[in-house]
Structure 1
Amino acid sequence: MDNNKGCYAIAGSIYANYIIQSIALVIITQFSIDLSRQLDTDLIGIGYVASGIGFGKIFLMFAGGVLSDKFGRKPFIYVGMCCYLVFFIGMLFCDNIHIAFVLAMFIGAGNSFLDTGSMPALTECFPRSAGTASVLIKSFISMGTLILPFIVTFFHNKDIWFGYAFIGFVVYLLINGLVLSSKIFPSKHTVICGNVGDNHYYIGRPNIWFEGVCLMLMGFTTTATFVIILQWLPAIAEQGIGMDAMQSKQLISYYSIASIISVFITAYVVKKILKPIYCIIILPLLSAAILLVFLCNLTAEMSLIAAIGMGFTAAGGVLQLTLVVMQQLFPNRKGFAVGTMYTMSGLSFIVIPLIVPKLVIEQVSYAILVDLVMALASVILGLVVYLRFRKVIDMNKI
């Protein structure tokens, strides 16, 4: 299917959706000033609302993955897009923090259904370039997080109602939905191929309860590593270091630029130089080193370096590469792999918003320390998976 023009069109719509997905994941914290005023709450209240994203993810991700394996990918991409529409439209009229929490759950639900439809669809469109196709998702996720701070700053400086931005996102989703409607998806039974097109790369039997569980746990740790920076670096810089509110939000733009650059470098590396199994160890190790330096030097300058460094390492596609490794180990359960790993990823969207604001208010270094622990946990889990991977798969055939 690599040369099928229809697959490129499908991939284009999927990638376009990921721009909105990334915007939705951080829009609550980016528009925190406006939403705090509308919902009559504070930073902890905004954290509570943002945690609804994680609840939406974990409640539906596993079911979405299993159903995607059974019924195909396209319906679940549409369900995910509809969930985002509910959030953007609902927030225009919401003035209650608990209703806002429920609407945030629709972001998580949309994330779940979009991922369980889109991630397997990409590997089925490009079975010989699954790692590259999956990693490129991160470039479009980064585009969303790059653009949004500029939108927020513009609306703030011009004193424009934030709802107009939400209406723009609704129109974007409707147009993409129309574009996708005529596309025919490849078979959901397509298997990821090796570098010579050989599907028969097993030399042992993979164990879902050992390396499978380790990979699922990496869904939590790799996500938590970048979520702390993505959602809360502005608050860390503003509350703990004393940066201006708008300047601190711009850190996410630097993070996103680094992430976009990293994605293309990582995509090239996994296609030409290193297999995904190596990258899921190396990238978290680099993140841990950056966080350790940041922990020892809490300054505005270091905040910028941390934003760029974490964008390059933590947001460069580690989660997607971890998923590729799981799909290589369990090729007939691709939807299940997405569902379980992204359920754990969703859990981090619950835990992080509930604990990080309190840590930022108490002591900024605690939040960074938690991030460091998450990065180190990813390294350890990645090493365990690597040891099993070599016993299960012929490394020369992938």
Structure 2
Amino acid sequence: MEIAPGSQTTVNINKWRLSLTLYLNYLIHGFGIIILAQNMTALGNSWNVPLKTVSFVISGIGVGRLIAYLITGSLADLLSRKLFVVIGMLCYLVFAVGMVMNPSIPVAYGLAILAGIANSALDAGTYTTLVEINHGKGDGTILLKGFMSLGEFILPILVATLANHEWWFGWSFIVMAAIIVLNFINVLTVRFPNHAELKQLNQAVSQTSHGPRGFKKVVATILLLGYGYTSMALMIWFTQWITLFAQQQLHFGETAAHFILSLYSIGSITGVIILFILLNRAVSELKLLIALNLTAVVALAILLFAGRIVWLANLASLIFGFAAAGGAMQTGLTVFMKLFPSHHGMITGAFYFFGSIASFTVPLITGLLSAQSIALAFSGDLIVGLVGTVIVIVLAGLHRTK
């Protein structure tokens, strides 16, 4: 089915402005993903609690995602995409401002939950919109990861600068809030596609859908939900503990330890650009996923077993960011959406619901492991990477034999 020319013209109105607005929200989200982990020591001192308790607070982000993803994903197919983008921004604003008011642990945990809800609302309104205005192609969603990585690159430098000058750590949260306010003004005035336009776009995509059928489709669905968990866990595990691992196990200084996470972000941004180019040239998404997951496993092994060689650790972090955080999760979501082209919101919600389980469980698991040693807490990421690699290999086999 072809989209009517008039409808196509309407959909393209302000497309670039809409896309840029959505991408800027993921710069903010890049801050939100790691801002608690990057300020663990400062927050622990502010609250007079050990790192284990701060890690527990961070797990609240996963709880918020668990609460919200299935709800926001399903409602995004029924209600306005713009509504959920606005909700996500407002929740992140309350989180950023609230965290610098020196809350109690229960209040801080509630704010972390709110950040998780913000994440789910943004995903429900954003991924669906970008896929639909790009006629079912997922390359636009890869750029979301680029802006997330840009935020993840900027924030550690900001945190390290504040620490080195002995300035108040809360300025990192204030900067996040300021960006939200500026972009919120733009969001209120930009137009999103309406329901009639979205219906035509989704019907057109349905005509070209392909993938496993019957029982194999059920198995593929289960595997993709599992990949939603492992792909998110792989990144969260790394970003939460790499700085402390570099300081305590590799004996890096504070600036060098924060810089290794910035290198991860540079790798991620590089991966986004290369993956965007490859997907535009119709390279197989599943072949890319296999290559990326295998590369991430190798990079983690280098960090664990040869990380005291500074240049090698830096290179491994760069490569890991390229492979694990350069759009691999978003590519997995695109594969999932192609299985269910008429239910983008629901599929996005389900996929990231399993990612939210990772957001909740990883801080708890690693918090317990860190009581034994930071090295043990960090090394568990290698197991996650291996499981994710097996999943995408089996998934590729199912698609070949559909």
1:229 Cα offset (Å): 1.3
SS at match of 1:71: coil
Deviating more after overlay: 360-369 vs 252-261: 360-369
SS at match of 1:241: coil
Task: Check whether the contact 1:124–1:192 (CA below 8 A) recurs between aligned residues.
Answer: no
Report what 2:5 is aligned to. none
Residue of structure 1 aligned with 2:69, choices 38, 61, 86 = 61
Task: Check whether the contact 1:138–1:317 (CA below 8 A) recurs between aligned residues.
Answer: yes
Runs of 4+ in structure 1 off by over 6 angstroms are: none
Residue of structure 2 aligned with 1:159, choices 166, 191, 201 = 166
Letter paired with 1:125: I
Which structure 1 segments of 5+ residues have no match? 393-398
Task: Check whether the contact 2:244–2:374 (CA below 8 A) recurs between aligned residues.
Answer: no
Report what 2:237 is aligned to. 228
Report what 2:269 is aligned to. 260
Query: Are 2:41 and 1:12 equivalent residues in the alignment?
Result: no
Query: Are 2:179 and 1:169 equivalent residues in the alignment?
Result: no
Q: CA deviation digits over 1:77-107, x for unaligned, max 9?
A: 1111111011111112133122111111111
d(CA) in 2 for partners of 1:203 and 1:329? 6
TM-score by length of 2: 0.91
Residue of structure 2 aligned with 1:47, choices 35, 44, 55 = 55
TM-score by length of 1: 0.91
1:150 Cα offset (Å): 1.4
1:204 Cα offset (Å): 5.9
1:387 Cα offset (Å): 2.6
Residues 308-387 of structure 1: pairs in structure 2 closer than 5 A:
308-387=318-397
Q: CA deviation digits over 1:51-73, x for unaligned, max 9?
A: 11111111111110000011131
Query: Are 2:276 and 1:240 equivalent residues in the alignment?
Result: no
Q: Matched residue pairs, number?
A: 388
d(CA) in 1 for partners of 2:379 and 2:253? 23
Report what 1:395 is aligned to. none
Residue of structure 2 aligned with 1:147, choices 141, 154, 173 = 154
SS at match of 2:249: helix
Which structure 2 segments of 5+ residues have no match? 1-7
Residues 183-194 of structure 1: pairs in structure 2 closer than 5 A:
183-186=190-193, 187-189=197-199, 190-191=201-202
d(CA) in 1 for partners of 2:52 and 2:69? 26
Letter paired with 1:220: Y
| Cα pair distance change 1:300/1:243, threshold 3 Å | farther
Q: Percent identity?
A: 28
Residues 265-280 of structure 1: pairs in structure 2 closer than 5 A:
265-280=274-289
Query: Are 2:288 and 1:288 equivalent residues in the alignment?
Result: no
1:203 Cα offset (Å): 7.2
1:365 Cα offset (Å): 4.3
| Cα pair distance change 1:204/1:351, threshold 3 Å | closer
Deviating more after overlay: 247-256 vs 380-389: 380-389
| Cα pair distance change 1:51/1:10, threshold 3 Å | same
1:294 Cα offset (Å): 2.7
Report what 2:87 is aligned to. 79
d(CA) in 1 for partners of 2:83 and 2:309? 46
d(CA) in 2 for partners of 1:6 and 1:63? 29
Aligned CA-pair RMSD: 2.1
